Structures are given as structure tokens and as C-alpha cells.
Chains A and B, each alone.
Chain A
């Protein structure tokens, strides 16, 4: 009976993911997920060995209240941090469950204290290891995203060798743990794994955060899998595998969006200021500058506009003003669409959520593959808060650190409007030659204020 209920729960989780294939079916998918979780929890509460309903109920209420409070209050711009924080909790929970299984193996029917089955010990320590890495890695990613820790990659000598040595140390500790089942070694594994988690994320720069967040997503799944094997629980194994696969695919998509291999991202170091190769002196080149009225005039007289938003737009909270601008243009009969680069924003799909929050209909928001061939037929590209993802150097300049990255071909449209705070480079630290082209007009200023001013000029 238990196995059947767990199976139903696992199937509901699969449907939950399946629902996300389209916005219209996605809400039902989320409900499937909730129902699946309720079934899983109540099935477990029905176990004969589970007696302390009050304590467990209280724990669920406390956790639920905290989780709900955070989830309802969080700003959508802070979504990546939130997700990173949540991942760290999954990792930590995995460590606690593994520890509980170690201290009370009877409750999980995996043996007795001091004589736990070897296979269980191996699985337990692997679950602990991945859980602890997920925990500390996510905490650090959270800090970097939140800005409490510098987003710059921290690189030092022999970094990878040290990481490799620590990894082998953990393998050695696990072997030792399986042999003597000592609590001291168990906690040593936890601590060393936590250390390794920090060291793995520390060299990864701010630009690579979308990959890191997805990667940690994947880890949290594998951690659940490890615990699932320890408890011989198929529900945990299935769910863990689903989450692990999901995170892995997202990491793959994100690194492809930056034309970097996952290995390359993991080894880190990208996004600093060490790029001397590309820092050609552009100080003598002329930049055409414009103001809100110019932009309004240019767009009003166009018949097609593609808006390219980047993370800078989100930081300036400009999405509502931007949508208002888009609405006015649409009322004038102008074809307005939005182009989203895979790595726009700081986690997969982040920009889509931000635009949806500002009430931009999702039909107008297109992915790179869907819209890139339309740029040559477009009169105006309105780039706001994005930079690297439009840089033609990615296609032409082999020495550029972003060479090979797929970009949005805004340079092929008749004219380009660039909303930027200053001439500063993007995350990659690379200068954008697009700024100096004849058909480019730079609109310097705060993204939100600029959109509001354009709206004023348009309505005037």
C-alpha cells in the first residue's frame, strides 16, 4: 500500500514537471506537485513507527510558516538568491536525515548502531557528501547573488589541485567511515564536504551565476537520491533523479548560452577584470548620444521595435515603465516584441518572469532562436540593461573572452537604441563595439527614468 501511494506521488511529480511545457497547463502542474507532496507526507505519517505527530506537526508548521512568509514577500528580482537559499536548505536537510539514519539505523531498518549495513553506509555518506556540498555551495552562491560577498571570482594558485586533494580525502574518509562507523569520521566528512562546497563556488564569477544556480539545483536532486538509496525509498530516488536531471539540463542550456563548457564554468575565473586582451583603447571613438525625446521620435516613426532587456533593466526596476512604453507603441500600430537571451537575468528564465510580472503578454516574449532572424527586418532595437549578449565581438573577435557566445543580432536592425547608465563594460568586462556604430544611439541614464521619460515624450 505504501509503495503504491509513493508511486502515485512520484507520478504526480512527473506530471508537475510535464505541465511546465506550456504556461496554460503549468498551474495545473503545480497543483499536481502539491498533491503529490501531501500524499508523500501523509503516507509517511501512517507508518507504525511514526508516533510523535505533535512534534512533527509543529515542525511542519514552523517550516511552512517561514517558507510561506519568505515566498510571499520576495521580490521577483531577488528570485535567484531565494532559489539558492532554498537549495542550501535541501542540502542541509539531506545531511540531517543522513545523520539521523546514522544515529538511529533501526528506525530506517538499515541495521543497528555500530553494525549498519555496508551498502547503507556508503549510500549514507555519499548523500551526506553531496548534501553538504550543496549546502555550502548554495550559501556562497546566495552571498554572491545578494551582493553580501563580492561577485568577483576568487582565484588562487593550485586551486584545482587543492580541490582534487580534498575530494580524495573525502573518498578516503568515506572508506574509513564504512570500516569503523565512527561518528567523528561522519562529522569530519560533513565538515570537509562543506569546505569543498565553498571552494568549488568561490572561483566562479557573477556572470556564471545562472550556471551555478542550475548546477546546485542538480546537486540538491542527487543529494535526495543518495538519501533515497540509503532508505531504499523509490519515491526519493525518482524525485531526486528528476531534479538532478532538470538541474543538469538547465546548466547545459545556460553554459551553451555563453558558449562555455560546464567544466570551464566549474573551473571558474570568468567575469573578472583580467581581460587585457580585449581592452582596446576606445577613448578616441565617437559615441552618438541621444535623449528620451530622440528615442521617442525614432520609435514612433518605426513600424517594428524589438526590445532587448537585460539584468540591468531588472536592477533598475524598469520593467513596468518599459511595458508602459511598449503599450503606447503598440497603440500607435507598431509591432513590439521582446527578445530574451538564454542568459539574460541571473537564473534560467528569470527575465521571462520579470516581464510577466510587469504584465507583458508571454506571446510577445520570444527566445533567441525564435526571433534572431527577424532583426534584419526590424527598424529599431531597443536594448535596455543588456550589453554582452548583443556584442558582435562574440562573432568576429576570436581574442574576445565572449567569442562564440550566441548573441542577439541587434546590429542587423536599422537602428539601435542603447539604454545604459554609463559606458562601463558588462559582466564579462568586454567593451562593446556596437556603441560606436553610426546607427547606434546611446541613451545614458537610469533605465526606469529613461523609460518614463520616453513614455512622457510619446504621450505628449
Chain B
């Protein structure tokens, strides 16, 4: 695979702009009440950067690059688990309150 011929870059750029446009419309459709969960989710999915970290950590042996990769995996994992879980917690509060559950405090 000849990565980074100018063609690859243009394809990347095309994807980038189309994704920006999708992002623009999708985010405007998010209800303001859920802007905090939106930040939680975007935070979690931006950690998809873990893909790059895994590639770096992939090879056997131990060199600088692998250590960086592993650190990247740890950092991204904190975010992925943390981001999705905190979003889950927030969203479960937005359930329809038909019968009021007795909450602590």
C-alpha cells in the first residue's frame, strides 16, 4: 500500500470535510438538555486514537515507540471507559419519571 501519495491525502481531506458537515448537522440536532452527555460521548469517541496507540504498541520487543504506544493505550482507555460510563450515568438520570423512585438523600 503506497500510503501518502497525494491521492491518499486528497481522499483523507474529502473524508474530513464530509465528516465535518455530518458533524455539523448531527450536533445541531442534539437537544440542549443533553449537551453534557454530548461532551461525554465525544470525549469517549475521540479516544478512538487508541487505534494508533495499539499499532505502535503492537510489535514484539520493547523499544521507545512501543512504550509510547502502551502509554497511549492506557491514556485512551481511561477516556473510553470513563467517557462512556459517565455518559451512561448522566443519561440514566434522564429517564421518564413515571413513578418516582426513592433515591438516596
A44 contacts B81, C-beta separation under 8 Å: no
Instruction: Classify chain B: how many residues form its interface, as a range.
Output: 35 or more
Residue A89, interface by CB 8 Å? yes
Residue A86, interface by CB 8 Å? yes
Complex: chain A residue closest to B44, CB-CB = A33
Complex-state Cα separation, A164 to B3, whole angstroms: 34
Contact with A along B21-59 (1 / 0, CB 8 A): 011101111111111111111111111111111111111
Q: How far is the CB of A285 from chain B (nearest CB, A)?
A: 36
A67 contacts B54, C-beta separation under 8 Å: no
B46 contacts A55, C-beta separation under 8 Å: no
Q: How would you classify the secondary structure of chain A's contact residues: helix, strand, loop or mixed? A: helix
Q: With A17-B30, A27-B92 given, is the CB distance from A107 to B43 under 8 Å?
A: no
Contact with A along B63-77 (1 / 0, CB 8 A): 111101111111111
A59 contacts B37, C-beta separation under 8 Å: no
Q: With A86-B83, A107-B59, A245-B20 given, is the CB distance from A37 to B27 under 8 Å?
A: no
Q: Specify which of B32, B66, B89 is in contact with A52 (CB 8 Å cutoff).
A: B66
The segment from A151-159, A230-238, A302-310, A374-382 found at the interface with B is: A230-238
Number of A residues with CB within 8 Å of any CB on chain B: 118
Q: With A14-B22, A27-B91, A100-B69 given, is the CB distance from A47 to B49 under 8 Å?
A: no
Residue A444, interface by CB 8 Å? no
Residue A168, interface by CB 8 Å? no
Q: List 29 A-B contacts (CB under 8 A).
A: A9-B48, A16-B45, A17-B27, A17-B30, A23-B91, A37-B44, A41-B50, A44-B54, A49-B58, A56-B54, A56-B57, A59-B71, A66-B74, A70-B78, A86-B78, A93-B72, A93-B75, A101-B56, A104-B64, A107-B59, A233-B51, A235-B48, A239-B48, A246-B39, A247-B42, A249-B24, A348-B39, A352-B35, A362-B94
| Residues of B near any A CB (own CB < 8 A) | 1, 3-4, 6, 8-9, 11-12, 15-17, 19-20, 22-24, 26-60, 63-66, 68-97, 100-101, 103, 105
Q: Which 4 A-B pairs have the closest CB atoms?
A: A63-B77, A245-B23, A349-B35, A104-B65
| Residues of A near any B CB (own CB < 8 A) | 9-10, 13-14, 16-18, 20-24, 26-27, 29-30, 33-34, 36-37, 40-41, 44-45, 47, 49-52, 55-56, 59-68, 70-72, 74, 76, 79, 82-83, 86-87, 89-90, 92-94, 96-97, 99-101, 103-104, 107-110, 117, 119-120, 213-214, 217, 220-221, 223-225, 227-247, 249-250, 253, 320, 340, 342, 347-350, 352-353, 356-357, 359, 361-362, 365, 367
